[in-house]
Structure 1
C-alpha cells in the first residue's frame, strides 16, 4: 500500500482534538483512502495530553534548533482507533501544552503569535522526525492549512531537510481566510526569531515566495505552503474558482484574500484542484426521521421534549464548570422552561428553523447586517417567522466572537421566538439536525461546509447562500433553497425574500419531496478519496 503522511493541527478521531471542519476530514478521510489502497498516517501536536490519552508508545527524542537554541521534542506513535495499519504520530513539547486547548486566541495587537510559535516548532519536529529516520518516509506529504507553512519552507530551503524534496507535497486549504501571518523579523514570534540560521541564508527570491503580498515585511505561512507545494487542493469545486478572484468586501464577496495571484499560477500549471469533502452516512439510518418532522408540524410534543432535554443537559454541563451563571445561559433556560410549559398544553412550536455553527463574520455577517433603519437581517427574519407561524421558533447553537454573541443574546431577550444557546454540544447539534424543518446557513463564504450536509442527511432542507461548498451541495427547489446577492444589502434582502417564498411550502405535500431529496443526497468520502488518489497523489485507480 502507498503511504501518505497527513500533517495537521486537528483530528476528530481523538477526543479533545477537534475544533473545526479540518478535524472531520482528518477523522474520516483515512478510512476512505484505505479502501483505495492508501494508508494515510497522521502527525499532529500532542497538546500535552493526547499521547497519554491514547496510551501512545514513545519512539524517541528529537533535537531541533529553534530560537537559535536546542529544543527537545518527544515523538509518540498510537494505533488508529479503527484502521490497524494506520499510524497516529504525536509530537510533544511544553510549548504545545496550553491547558488542553488546540488554539489560543492571542492578543489583538499580536494575532497568531503564540500559535505561530507552536506550529513553527511542530513543523521543525516533523521535518526532523522524517529526515532522521525516526519515522519512515511516506510516498506523499499532505499538509493541511497554514499551520504547516514552516514545513513547506524547511522542505524547500533548509539543506539539512533536503531529503524531503524527494517526497511529492500536497496542500489542502480548509479556510483561506486564516493565514497565520507574522513579521519576518524583529519580533519574538517571527521567522527570523524561530530560524535565525536559515533566515540568514534566504535570498531575495526565496523571501519573495514566502512573504505576504499585502504586507511585504511579514511571513505568510499559508502563502509559503501554496507556493512551495507541488499541488494545492481546495475543499469544494466552487471555492476553488472563487479564490482565483480578489476579495471585494464592498460587494460582500470573499475570494483569494490576497493570495489569488499565487493560486492563479497554480491553476495555470494544472496544480489547483477543487475536491468536495465527503460526509459519513450511517448504514442503520433511522426510519422515523421524516415522521419526526411531520409530527412537529402537527404540534406533537413527544418530539420536542427530547430537544428541550438535550439543550438543558448541554447548558447544565457548561454551568457546572464555572462558579457563575452567564446571562445568556439563564435566558436560554427561561426560554426552554417556557417551551416545556407550552408543550404540556399541546402548544409546542409547529415550525422550527435551526442554525448550528461558529459565530464569526464568515457565518454571521449576512444575518447581522443592519439596514438603513438599523434593523438586522435576523430581526427581520424573526418578525417574518412570527407573522407566518405565531408559535414558530428559531434555534441557534454556536459560540464565537463576543460582539455577535452579545447581539444574539439581546435579540433572544426581545423576541420570544429566538432560542440562542451559546456554546457547542454534539448531542444537541444532532437533535437540531433531526428536529428542524429548515436549516439556515447564509455564510459569506464557505470552503465546503459540513453542517448543511448533516442537516440534509437528517432530512432537513437548507436555506443557503450560493457560495463555495454550499452552492455545490444544495440544489434550489430540489433539496433546499439558495439565494444570491452582489452586496451585503442584496444578500440580506435575497435571504429574506427566499425565506418568505419558502415558509408557506413547509408541511405541504411538495415539501415532503424536498425533505426526501435532501435525505437521499449523498456526498461520499469514497468518491472524494478516489479523486484524491487520481488528482492529488497521481496514483492509478485502485
Structure 2
C-alpha cells in the first residue's frame, strides 16, 4: 500500500492533475507541518475536534500536496508505528483510529479543505467507512455523493471485522445516531458484525485489485492451505465483477531515480546493520542472536558461498507459511544448497513464532543466515547480489520484491499465485512452483529448486539468458496510471509532455525506417 500511495500520485501529477494525499498523523507526522484548520464534527455522539495540517513530502513534487489529521486518539501503534496488535480483539484499536480518521476526512471534504475533488481513492478496510458516511450519514451524504469513490484492495485477508453493537469499538459506538441497514453491511460469516472490507467492495463506484490474477483468485472460495481465494467475500467480488465495477491493475516499479548500492558491499552492509542493532537498547532481547548472525556473516567473508538465495519480507503466514507448516521443507532446501556451497539469507521481522522458527534454524544450520532486523542497505544489496530471489508466498496480491530483484537481472523463484503469476514466467524470466494441493506444491517446490541449482552450475548460458529476460521486464507505473484513468477514474488521461516527446521521437524513427 505504501508503494502505491507514494508512486501513483507522482505519475498522476505528471499528467497535470492535482493530487491530495491524506493520512492520519499518528501523533507525530504533524509536528513539522503547517496548521490549516480545525475540523468540527460529531463522533461517538459527541462534538469532536480534529486538526488538519499540510506537511512536506519526502521530496517536493509539483501538483501534489500532503496532509495529515491529528487528534489525541490517533496514536502510533506497536506495528511499524502505525497499527496495533490487539491479540484478544483483532482490529479493536485500529477500528477506533480509522473510524475517527474517516469522519474527520469527510468533514474536511465537506468544508472544501481540498477545493474541488473529482475522485476520492480509498485504500483497504481502514478507509471504507467513508463509504458508510456517504451512504447513511445525514451530514455527509450530499457532499460525498457528488464525488466518484474508488476502492483499492491491497490484501483481502485483512478485513477489519467489528461488532455492530455492544463494544467500545463497534459501529454503534462510533455513530450512535446514524440509521443504517445491517443487511447491507454484515459480514457473510458473522452476521452480528460489520465487515469493513466488504463495505468497500459493496459501495465503491469501482473496486481495484493490484494484479489481474489476484482479481480472479479472490472470486473463488478459499480452501486453506491449498488455495487462498475470497476469504468469505467471493460473492461480493463476483457481484462487483458482474456490475463491471471490479478491475485488476498490476502495481508498478520505479526504473529511474531509485537508490542504488555498490556491488560487493553485501557483507559490510550486513555487519554494520547488525552492529547497529546490537547498540540499540530497544533490541536488547535480540543482542545475543545478532552477535551469532554477525559471526555467520564474517564466516561468509572468509569463505564466500558459490550461490546465494535470498528473501526479504515481513515474517507472516502469508509470506512463509510453507516453512512454518512444514519445517522439513526448509531443512531440505538448506541441505540441497549445502551440496553446492550455497546459502540462504533471509532478512525480516514480524510475528514472534516465525522469528523463533527462523532463529532456531539459524543456530542449527550454518548456511542459513537470518538477519532479524531492518536495513535498507542490506535489502538493496540482496536485490543486487543474490543469485536467486525466493518468494514462497501462500498468496500474493501483487508483490514488489520480485520486480525489484528482476530490475537488477536477478531471477526469482515464486509460488504460482496472484501477482507472482502475472510477473514471473517459468524458465524464461524466473522459476515458478505450484500444484493442486499443498502437498503437491511442497514436492514441486523442491523439484524446481533442485532444477534451478543444476541450471546455474551446469548451463551458464541458459542462466544468463533468463537473467537478461528478467531484467528486460518492465512493470511501469505509467502503464498502471493510464489504466487507473480509463478503468477506475473514468476520466481522460492527459499525456505528460515527456511521453508526448518520446512518442514523437518513436514516430519519427519509424517514419525514417519506412522511408529507407
Same fold by TM-score greater than 0.5: yes
Give the match's secondary structure for 2:284. coil
CA distance in 1, matches of 2:237, 2:451: 38
- How far off is 1:315 after superposition? 2.3
- How far off is 1:367 after superposition? 2.4
The equivalences for 1:13-52 within 5 A come to 22-52=1-31
CA distance in 2, matches of 1:412, 1:225: 42
Give the match's secondary structure for 1:94. coil
Query: Is 1:307 aligned to 2:266, yes or no?
Result: yes
Q: Is the 8 A contact 1:457 1:519 kept in 2?
A: yes
Q: Is the 8 A contact 1:308 1:336 kept in 2?
A: no
Give the match's secondary structure for 1:248. coil
Q: Equivalent of 1:75, from 20, 45, 52?
A: 52
The equivalences for 1:193-342 within 5 A come to 193-198=173-178, 201-202=179-180, 206-250=181-225, 252-282=226-256, 303=264, 306-322=265-281, 325-327=284-286, 329-341=287-299
Structure 2: where are the runs of 5+ without partners? Answer: 495-516
Q: Equivalent of 1:483, from 433, 449, 452?
A: 433
Give the match's secondary structure for 2:474. coil
Q: Is the 8 A contact 1:368 1:376 kept in 2?
A: no
CA distance in 1, matches of 2:14, 2:408: 26
* Residue in structure 2 matched with residue 148 of structure 1 by the alignment: 127
The equivalences for 1:103-122 within 5 A come to 103-122=82-101
* Residue in structure 2 matched with residue 181 of structure 1 by the alignment: 161
CA RMSD after TM alignment: 1.9
CA distance in 2, matches of 1:212, 1:358: 28
The equivalences for 1:360-375 within 5 A come to 360-370=316-326, 375=327
- Compared with structure 1, are the counterparts of its residues 45 and 497 closer, same or farther at alpha carbon in structure 2 (3 Å cutoff)? same
- Compared with structure 1, are the counterparts of its residues 423 and 209 closer, same or farther at alpha carbon in structure 2 (3 Å cutoff)? farther
- Compared with structure 1, are the counterparts of its residues 245 and 99 closer, same or farther at alpha carbon in structure 2 (3 Å cutoff)? closer
Q: Is the 8 A contact 2:348 2:371 kept in 1?
A: yes
- How far off is 1:259 after superposition? 0.8
Structure 1: where are the runs of 5+ without partners? Answer: 1-21, 293-302
Give the match's secondary structure for 2:20. strand
Q: Is the 8 A contact 1:332 1:420 kept in 2?
A: no
- How far off is 1:58 after superposition? 1.3
- How far off is 1:99 after superposition? 6.6
- How far off is 1:342 after superposition? 5.1
- How far off is 1:339 after superposition? 4.0
Q: Equivalent of 1:87, from 40, 52, 65?
A: 65
CA distance in 1, matches of 2:257, 2:103: 41
Q: Is the 8 A contact 1:171 1:231 kept in 2?
A: yes
- How far off is 1:464 after superposition? 0.2
